[in-house]
Structure 1
Amino acid sequence: MVSNQVPRSTLLSALEEKRRHQMKKYLLHRLFFVALLRDEVHDGEVRAYHEHLFQKIAKFHLGESASGVLLIYSHCVLHILEASSGTLYHILKDLAALENQGPAALLQDIKILVISHNIPTRLFSQWNATMVEVPITLEDVTQSQTTEEVITECLTLILRLGVYLATLKVGNKGLGDCLHNVVPELLIPAETIRCLCKAKECLSPGEFLKMYHDPLQPRMDSETVWPTHTHLFI
């Protein structure tokens, strides 16, 4: 016996379909970068700069919120951001503009550690900034490791920190300045961050954008057929 029932959608299925369409609006990417701080910069200035930057970008990318965490050390920062390609592009452009300010810039020696493309889910539910105090270690392990090995270890710690932060209930007041007391083993030493800021293997925002704009298949001189270098007719 053939059933003549017409399949009907439910409110739950409609909401799930709407959510699936919303999630497909843009792909998520994760940016990791480090930077040195200008002398005598207060952590409030660093927070205010990034909050202003997000507000400015939000006017061009409605509904594309950025998540992540900004760890502010005494003389350097470590920033992890999750956002669409358009949002990250505008952030990199602003960071590149900071480079052109020279010694007056808030952030110095900005270096991109890695960009993870098309991540399946967010590691952070929102964006937060927090001050961390990591004790200075006498042993510099970066001297016996390659830059790639140092970055790999740093990314491992960052992802473990992200998993830990995902278990916290972060309110409107943010994380609070206590990560160095609760999970000091998940924080990257300040000496390592300063070393990465000087690493030649890591690209600056300006260098990354230059590479981003360069064509993947540059035109060869032999491919140029017009205009010709000589007259066709004499």
Structure 2
Amino acid sequence: MDHRAPKTGKKPPLESTLLPQVPRSNYLHTQEEKQRLQLKKFLMNRMFLIGNIQAHTEKKDIADYYENVFQLISKHHLGETVTGLLLIYPTSILHILESSSGTLFRILLDYLDHKKGESEFLIQGLKIIVMSHNIPSRLFMQWHVSVINVPVMYLDDVTQSQSIEEVVTEFLTQIHKLGLHLFKSVKVGAKGPGDNLHQIAPELLIPEQIIKCLGKAEEFLDPETFIKMYNNPIHITLDSEVVWPAPTRFYV
């Protein structure tokens, strides 16, 4: 006799078709993932800095200082190049830096070391306006320096009638417009706009009174406070730590 079960024509249970499938990889996917990680070794960050220039400071000394810092840091952070723009005004600076978080923090630490060791360091009152993490791409292909030889204009000072939020919005908007202009006009490997930026794109330059206004605002952190906040661990008190173990009362 044939003891095989008769065919009923029923379909397998629905649960078997809905079971999660284990993802399977192959050697090609492994090689592609390895190549992707090699092309992106670190997350890109962008930092906006402003500061005051010490009296009787040569503009060239400021550019030379940052170039030396970049060279020293590159020995420990291989492949993490710094791009951005340094605008040197008559009495202040505006600095945009793009690199890894480790490189940017080393730049801040070097500034703090000079500030503690030198009573009259060439840059004073440095403040961090914005620190953008994991940006999709660089806004600047190189690191450019431009000296802005334009006198401070006190007429129609918009900072007197705007809130700090409006000033920051205008500040960031103008910088991104300026960055896009340089991205389209300056070729890779060129020296950049040089000291003629105020003549090439005067409508895109940040007025120095805006930099002065942001430097006086208490909402922005100096490098020392920023580094302390970054290094301090975050302590979070859970609800269970407050109510557990529950208080009990023993009765005799």
Q: TM exceeds 0.5?
A: yes
> How many angstroms apart in 1 are the aligned matches of 2:182 and 2:41?
26
Instruction: For CA contacts below 8 A with separation 6 or more, give which structure has more relative contact order.
Output: 1
Q: 2:142 is matched with which residue?
A: 126
Task: Indicate conservation of the 8 Å contact 1:134/1:187, yes or no.
Answer: no
Work out which of the residue numbers 185, 193, 201 in structure 1 matches 2:211: 193
Give the stretch that moved more between structures: 144-153 or 31-40: 144-153
Listed as ranges, the matches of 1:57-72 within 5 Å are 57-72=73-88
Aligned-partner SS, 1:100: helix
Residue 205 in structure 1 maps to residue 223 in structure 2: yes
Deviations 1:50-79 (A, max 9, x none): 000101101110111011010111111000
SS state at 1:178 partner: helix
Aligned to 1:21: 37
The 3-state SS of whatever aligns with 1:217 is: coil
CA-to-aligned-CA distance 1:126-172 (integer Å, 9 cap, x gap): 11111113343212211222222211110100011000000122544
2: distance between equivalents of 1:185 and 1:104?
Answer: 34
Q: 2:90 touches 2:151 (CA, 8 Å); kept in 1? A: no
Counterpart AA for 1:100: K
What CA distance in whole angstroms lies between the structure 1 residues aligned with 2:236 and 2:139? 37
**1:1-234 map, 5 Å:** 20-101=36-117, 103-137=119-153, 138-167=155-184, 168-169=186-187, 171-217=189-235
Q: Whose radius of gyration is greater, 1 or 2?
A: 2
Unaligned runs of 5+ in 1: 1-8, 224-234
Per-residue deviation, 1:23: 3.1
Q: When the two structures are superposed, what TM-score results if normalisation uses the length of structure 1?
A: 0.82
Would the aligned equivalents of 2:44 and 2:134 in 1 still touch at CA under 8 Å?
yes
> How far apart are the structure 1 equivalents of 2:228 and 2:49?
17
Inter-partner Cα distance in structure 2 for 1:184 and 1:101: 38
- Percent identity between the aligned chains? 49
Distance 1:72 1:95, change over 3 A: same
Shift in CA distance, 19/135, structure 1 to aligned 2, threshold 3 Å: farther
Q: 1:103 deviation in Å?
A: 4.7
Contact 1:43–1:72 (CA<8 Å) still a contact in 2?
A: yes
Q: Report how many aligned residue pairs link the two structures.
A: 210
TM-score (ref. length: structure 2): 0.76
Q: Deviations over 1:79-117 (max 9, x none)?
A: 000000110110111222344356501111111000011
